[in-house]
Structure 1
Amino acid sequence: MARTQPSQSARLIPLAAAIGDIATLSIAVIIAMIGRQQLTFFNPSADVADAVSIAAGPLLFGWVSMLLGVGAYTRDIFGAGTEEYKLVLKASLLSAGLLGIGCFLTRFNLSRGFFLLAFAIGVPLLLLWRLALRRSIQHTRRHGHLREGVVIAGNPRHIDDLAAVLRRESWLGYTVLGALITPGSEQVETPAGIPVLGSTEDMAAAIEGAKADVVIFVDGAFNSAHDLRRAMWDLEGQSVRAIVVPSLSDISSERLKVRPVAGLPLVHVDAPRTVQASHWAKRAFDFLGSLGILALISPVLLAVAVAVKFHDGGPVLFRQTRVGRDGRVFSCLKFRSMVVDAEQRLTDLEVNHERSSVLFKLVDDPRVTRPGRLIRRLSLDELPQLWNVLRGQMSLVGPRPPLPHEAASYGTDMRRRLRVRPGMTGLWQVSGRSDLSWDETVRLDLYYVDNWSMVQDLNILARTVSAVLSSRGAY
């Protein structure tokens, strides 16, 4: 299985990020210098202007150096996760703090207007540039470039599970080259058809032969911590990155704290964050967010309503009973995208159902109207649910609201999805929507419920835009 592109191109990403950071911060510093002179309430003076000119260069150099110092150019942080943005914010805050302290200690007369403008403009610009870079990297990876070759070591079943995720989420940039399994097996490939390159005892040779950039360890790779340590010794000196997928893979990094004790890396796990997912701060965010979005997109709502009404004269809205937080039912609103008697036709179509009996959805549903196909493709049919969010029945982000018969079939684990308000969007929507299996949908929803954070909500909302525009899994 050949790699689609040499890994050297992926190593240029940190360099591209650094060049972009320098250009972005240079723009911010220039705007701050001009603003300091042009805005009259800053009281411009010649002495202060000279001080600004002197400080501009060191500020730019120090800011970029701080980004380098905190690890904002490490290859692992690009393309996924929130760590990149956290490091950018951390470096910016440290730069502002050190600059302020330095000017105070040296009694350097730096303009407060320039200081405020530089960081008020520079930080958002820097984050927007990093976001644009991430979108560019993900787009390029989806088209087969900037990819890294991966060898997965462990139990064949777990290898196949991880490989399926890496193939589906092509924006991560990993190409699976082969597998390494425990010694003694005669398998030439895993059940999913991934070629077996050897055993975990021959890891170094197998990875070198495959020209892999990354080795990922899943369950079953080793029998003891000593075996893993020896594998790390074997990889010493090779330009190969090692990633371990622990059994705690459905727990977010924010809930994990590693504290070494007597040479043992003890992992402390915080309690699930189900209660925080229903906190007043999230409710306030939902209320203000839905109110603002409704005001902003009111022309779109009107246009869709007119299109639905004029197509067949039926009702504009479709009201469906759904199950919300703690099992309370509510009337979930949607723009009607199907024929008026869609519910009556449902029984005849269930025999053609391609997925789990819990989650019914057809790829080519004949009940969908002509305008309905467009509004479903763009998820415009979901917009009336902003009223449900405003009323407190739903949230902007959360698990999908199930039908009563779906909720009635839930087991103990799945019922945890009902501990929080259902959402208009969620992890399953931005990870493939209807292209995901029922088990994957449940796993993502449970992950959200147990690992809620406001940063994750914002990240999901940002990813929702690209998921909707790509129409991936929407039908």
Structure 2
Amino acid sequence: MQQGELASPFPSARGRLTNGGVSRPASDWEQRYRRTVITSDTVATAFVVASIGSFFGARDAANWHEKWTILACGTEILVLGALAVSRSWAPAVLGQGAEEFRRLGRSLFMAAVVLALGGIALTSRNIKLWIFVAIPAIALVTMTARYLLRLRLHRHRNQGRCLRPVLAAGSPETVRDLIARARKFPHLGWRVDAVCTTDGLGVDGDQLDGVPVVGRLTDVATHVQRDGYRVLAVTPDPHWSPDRLQRLAWNLEGCDTEMVVAPVLMEVAGPRLHVDAVLGIPLLRVSMPTFTGGRRAVKGVVDRLGAAILLILFAPLMVLVGLMVLVDSRGGALYRQRRVGKDGREFTIFKFRTMVSNAHAVRAELADRNEGAGLLFKLRSDPRVTRVGAVLRRYSLDELPQLFNVLTGSMSLVGPRPPLPEESAAYGPDIRRRLLVKPGLTGLWQISGRSDLPWEEAVRLDLRYVEDWSLALDTVILWKTLRAVIHGQGAY
């Protein structure tokens, strides 16, 4: 172990050679990370209840030890008990995805409900303080602490540490896709260490994209039990019949390996997938995407309210940016352009002008230098971009006027990228599904690389948003947009 790892609470899980092959430790870093999260939740909860008890209890000193101590201890026990019951400390959900925070939120809501029922039963007048002050404060502190721990964990994973060793089993094509995604997103914590294929061969002989092929699909259980992989990723292949998958699951009973099966519908996920038992058969039920209804109404209210608040907050900055644009080059401060919105309806989008006033007229002269993907026209060093415009693009400040589009209802805070009319006219039937929802000020494309993305990947992300939209996904995207804007990746 390196010296830098000794001081880390999340040590690396590297393999060590034995006579039987590669033997991996039983994920010591996972257990240590779990203990760190439990300690963080416990300390944060204790700090909040002690602070509230001390501050408000001092105003009722006569009964402080008798009443406030009981309420503080009761709140602490309820919160920690709810976290345990909701499996908020399960290693499988810690460190990635929104499920960790969903379970944390459900746990705190459960604790608040129990507190309310207890207050009614005991006719306590002070219970409101713990429900409406203590629980929200605990949520704020614990979620912030978990997010900071996750950032630290992700830094370790980007350095190649704290990764779960994965055995991938499936067709070479689907396994290669899994390997590429694991390498592209190391913060998710997967490292494909070995592969099993139908014939035990890879594209490069005994390797598949640099990962050794250790056997056939019929030998998967043997390799998992012998080498101790933390995750078995089963990807699509004609070999995997229901009977074979069931026998594989039986053979893995008793080991710590997590078996993950990739469904055929690779791009459908989140709230649309449900597992139901029908006639004794486990079936994967895919619900239809929702484009209307209560959740969409809530999204519309949040869009307009959020746009109004952001316009008020950013008004001084927008005035300053507008003046800088006017001083830097000839032309107006705002740039208006026709874009295509929901159901193919065109609207006028507003942006701060970042190019010279005759930029569109000289575009034809730059056509042979186009670096954009697919139907997009992009240049990393576009000579039409002004000095102020380069800064505005770097930090996405040129897009602030689009808040007026959100306020008027032609755009949403989160959604697919709004296309140009000529782009939309060239869409095929599949890509036109992007137009089933309002375009967004930000989206999955914004937090995944923006202009650096290949055209196919940008389309895939937009379609994924259309198919798997949820309020929780919008919240995650808005949160990650701040980091994407600060880093400026793909902004030019």
The two structures share one fold, judged by TM-score above 0.5: yes
Alignment of 1:328-407 (within 5 A): 328-354=345-371, 356-407=373-424
Closer/same/farther in 2, CA of residues 125 and 208 from structure 1, 3 Å limit: same
Closer/same/farther in 2, CA of residues 355 and 308 from structure 1, 3 Å limit: closer
Closer/same/farther in 2, CA of residues 416 and 186 from structure 1, 3 Å limit: closer
Report the 3-state secondary structure (helix = DSSP H, G, I; strand = E; otherwise coil) of the residue aligned with 1:87: helix
Counterpart Cα distance in 2 of 1:221 and 1:170: 29
Report what 2:284 is aligned to. Answer: 267
Closer/same/farther in 2, CA of residues 235 and 354 from structure 1, 3 Å limit: farther
Report what 2:6 is aligned to. Answer: none
Residues 57, 64 of structure 2: 8 Å contact kept? no
Cα distance, 1:246 vs structure 2: 0.8
Report what 2:260 is aligned to. Answer: 243
Counterpart pick for 2:329 among 312, 317, 322: 312
Counterpart Cα distance in 2 of 1:212 and 1:351: 50
User: Alignment identity in percent?
Assistant: 35
Residues 52, 114 of structure 1: 8 Å contact kept? no
Q: Report whether the alignment pairs 1:52 with 2:68.
A: yes
Q: Report whether the alignment pairs 1:147 with 2:163.
A: yes
Letter in 1 for 2:370: H
Alignment of 1:29-428 (within 5 A): 29-37=49-57, 44=60, 46-47=62-63, 49-102=65-118, 107=122, 111-116=126-131, 117-183=133-199, 185=201, 187=203, 188=205, 192-207=209-224, 212-220=229-237, 222-276=239-293, 279-354=296-371, 356-428=373-445
Report what 1:429 is aligned to. Answer: 446
Counterpart Cα distance in 1 of 2:141 and 2:419: 40
Runs of 4+ in 1 over 6 A off after TM superposition: none
Counterpart Cα distance in 1 of 2:293 and 2:176: 34
Report the 3-state secondary structure (helix = DSSP H, G, I; strand = E; otherwise coil) of the residue aligned with 2:331: coil
Counterpart pick for 1:14 among 10, 34, 46: 34
**Which deviates more from structure 2 when the two are superposed, residues 7-16 or residues 205-214?**
205-214
Report the 3-state secondary structure (helix = DSSP H, G, I; strand = E; otherwise coil) of the residue aligned with 1:129: helix
Cα distance, 1:440 vs structure 2: 1.8
Residues 12, 29 of structure 2: 8 Å contact kept? no
Residues 36, 114 of structure 1: 8 Å contact kept? no
Cα distance, 1:54 vs structure 2: 2.6
Work out the number of aligned pairs and report it.
Answer: 468
Cα distance, 1:430 vs structure 2: 1.4
Counterpart Cα distance in 2 of 1:193 and 1:369: 45
Report the 3-state secondary structure (helix = DSSP H, G, I; strand = E; otherwise coil) of the residue aligned with 1:16: helix
Counterpart Cα distance in 1 of 2:297 and 2:70: 47
**Which deviates more from structure 2 when the two are superposed, residues 294-303 or residues 397-406?**
294-303
Residues 71, 87 of structure 1: 8 Å contact kept? yes
Counterpart Cα distance in 1 of 2:58 and 2:330: 59
Letter in 2 for 1:342: A
Report the 3-state secondary structure (helix = DSSP H, G, I; strand = E; otherwise coil) of the residue aligned with 1:279: helix
Counterpart Cα distance in 1 of 2:348 and 2:249: 56
Closer/same/farther in 2, CA of residues 235 and 60 from structure 1, 3 Å limit: same
Counterpart Cα distance in 2 of 1:350 and 1:331: 24
Residues 202, 213 of structure 2: 8 Å contact kept? no
Mark the runs of 5 or more structure 1 residues left unpaired by the alignment: none
Cα distance, 1:10 vs structure 2: 3.5
Residues 277, 420 of structure 1: 8 Å contact kept? no
Counterpart Cα distance in 1 of 2:248 and 2:483: 39
Point out which structure has higher relative CO (alpha carbons under 8 A, 6+ apart): 1
Report the 3-state secondary structure (helix = DSSP H, G, I; strand = E; otherwise coil) of the residue aligned with 1:266: strand
Counterpart Cα distance in 2 of 1:9 and 1:48: 42
Closer/same/farther in 2, CA of residues 373 and 174 from structure 1, 3 Å limit: farther
Letter in 1 for 2:443: G
Residues 178, 197 of structure 1: 8 Å contact kept? yes
Cα distance, 1:195 vs structure 2: 3.4
**Which deviates more from structure 2 when the two are superposed, residues 208-217 or residues 406-415?**
208-217
Counterpart Cα distance in 2 of 1:190 and 1:401: 42
**Which deviates more from structure 2 when the two are superposed, residues 281-290 or residues 312-321?**
312-321
Cα distance, 1:221 vs structure 2: 6.9
Residues 303, 407 of structure 2: 8 Å contact kept? yes
Report the 3-state secondary structure (helix = DSSP H, G, I; strand = E; otherwise coil) of the residue aligned with 1:344: coil
Cα distance, 1:71 vs structure 2: 0.7
Counterpart Cα distance in 1 of 2:101 and 2:202: 45
Closer/same/farther in 2, CA of residues 351 and 211 from structure 1, 3 Å limit: farther
Residues 337, 350 of structure 2: 8 Å contact kept? yes
Cα distance, 1:126 vs structure 2: 2.4
Letter in 1 for 2:46: S
Counterpart Cα distance in 1 of 2:487 and 2:224: 35
Cα distance, 1:113 vs structure 2: 4.8
Counterpart Cα distance in 1 of 2:452 and 2:293: 30
Counterpart Cα distance in 2 of 1:308 and 1:329: 27
Cα distance, 1:390 vs structure 2: 1.2
Residues 228, 257 of structure 2: 8 Å contact kept? no
Closer/same/farther in 2, CA of residues 336 and 270 from structure 1, 3 Å limit: same
Cα distance, 1:426 vs structure 2: 0.7
